[in-house]
Structures are given as structure tokens and as C-alpha cells.
Amino acid sequence: MRFGLFGINIGPCASGQVAAQVAQAAEAAGFESVWTGEHVVLPSPQRPPSPVLPETPFLDPAIALTLVAAHTRALRLGTGIIILPQRNPLVLAKELASVDVISGGRLIFGLGIGYLKDEFDALGIPFTHKGARTLEYLEAILAIWTAERPAYQGRFVAFAGVDARPRPVQAPHPPVVIGGHTPQAYRRAATHANGWFGFALDPSGTAACLAGLRTALAEQPRPAALGALEISITPRGPLDLDTVKRFADAGVHRLIPYWPFPTEAALRERIARFGDDVIAKL
């Protein structure tokens, strides 16, 4: 079992100084990675299904992870998740390749399709065909990262006769993680991702999602180059040593807890205690 920390760009960690110090504390406690969340804008006033108050600060994922990279040595840097259909794929490819280069090859590219229509409307992005757009954008990003002569022709994005350097340090590219709790998300992970990310799940909810993933893997052709599907979960509820073992027994490879404490001191104390009570005992 590996451990990540979710929210390195949210709330108190939207301060650069705090994000750097929290990331260093996580690295010292034995965490393998830190992860960003993303909402470019939030509905105001808050209304379902928006997850947080509109006043909640979110740093841009690439900027936050670049800062963290400069203040850590080996901590992996995950986007958990970038809402891919809201992004220009070539601009995002440049930003994320830059994070991977600056960090010496520590990026994990987590992505999803998004679910807040208000956010899409404000950005002028169609809320329809999010899944198809996401897969095209992902394929376009991988093309500009890896192809000898990058080109892509799709319904939502097309380019040829261009290149973009530097490319990511990791070969053939940074690991791709796809989030989502629907059969369609499971299929996207099965066919296009190195890993799958489930958010706010207890062990029983995780088991249901893993059953859906097994169905998708049985039904979809999975490219051999993707390897085995790595499972990452942000757990819901208390997370002690026994609960960690339940997740591990279910087949989870990485737990990424989110502790939305209002202060840096409380968050750092929780990180250190988790390191002593859980990570050091596994």
C-alpha cells in the first residue's frame, strides 16, 4: 500500500508557503505522493452537486505541483483530477510536460470528465459529449508527448505539422489515471489508463466500484502496454490501520486521504500522526 495526500492546492494549501511545508511534512511522514483537486470556477451560491463553498480557494494544479516539486525530493505529484474536457489539450500537454521536467519525472496525470454544468457553462464548454471529448483530448496529449511527428485528427481536436518540447521525462509518458464512478468511467480506465481513482469511498463502496472495473476489464480490450490497472482511493470516514488493511485486502494499491482542516498546524499534526500510527506500522 502506498499513501498520497489529497488537497495540496486547496484551502490552507492554496498558500504557496503552506503547500510547500505540508508537502515536506508528508514526504517526511512516508507519503508517496500529493494530489491536487480542480474546479476552475464554482457555482455561487453553492448548490448541488457542487462539493464546496464558492469561496474555497483552489490553486491551479500545474502551478501548485511545480511549487511542491521545488520543495521536495522524491514525492510524486498527482492531478486528482484535471477536468480534461475543459482544457485545451495542447496547452495542458505543455503545462504538464513542464511539471514532469521540472520535477525530474514525478508527475501522475489524473483526469476526469467533470460533472458541474455551471462550471462548463461559465467556461463556454459544451456539457454534452464529455466522455468522447475527454478520450480525444487524452489521445492528442499522448501524441504530442510521444510521436516522432505528432499529429491527431478527431472530432474535437486536430493538428499536424507541429511539435512541442521539452517532452516529459517519464517514458513513454507520465502514468495516466482516470477517475469516475460510472460504467463509462470504468471502461475509459480499462482502455486508456494506467490507473483508476475513486473519490470518497468506504470499503464497501470501493468493492462495488472494483466489481464494475472487473466487468469493464473483462469486456474491453486493454492494451498490454498499460499494464495492470492500479487502484487509488480517497477514503471516506476514519482511516486507521485496520481500515487500511481492509482496503488493501480489497485490491487497493494507493490510499489518498483528504483531511480538510482549516489550518496548516492541524493538517501537519494529522499527517505526522498518520505516519506514526499507520505508515510506519505497515
CA distances from 282 to 2, 48, 153, 248 (A): 10, 39, 48, 11
Q: What is the pTM of this model?
A: 0.97
Helix (H, G, I), strand (E, B) or coil at 8: coil
Q: Parallel, antiparallel, or unpaired: how do β-strands 33-36 and 82-83 relate?
A: unpaired
Q: How confident is the model at residue 264 (pLDDT cuts 50, 70, 90)?
A: very high
User: Span 2-177+260-281: which CATH code?
Assistant: 3.20.20.30
Q: Domain boundaries in the chain?
A: 2-177+260-281, 178-237
Q: What is the pLDDT of residues 181-205, one digit of tens each?
A: 999 999 999 999 999 999 999 999 9
| CA 8 – CA 24 distance, rounded (Å) | 11
Write out the three cell numbers for 25: 511534512
Q: How confident is the model at residue 232 (pLDDT cuts 50, 70, 90)?
A: very high
Number of H helices, E strands in the chain: 9, 11
To the nearest 10 degrees (0 to 180), the angle between helices 183-192 and 130-146 is: 10
Residues with Cβ < 8 Å from 179, sequence gap 6 or more?
80, 81, 110, 111, 112, 185, 196, 197, 198, 199
DSSP class of residue 279 equals G
- For position 105, what pLDDT does the model report? 98
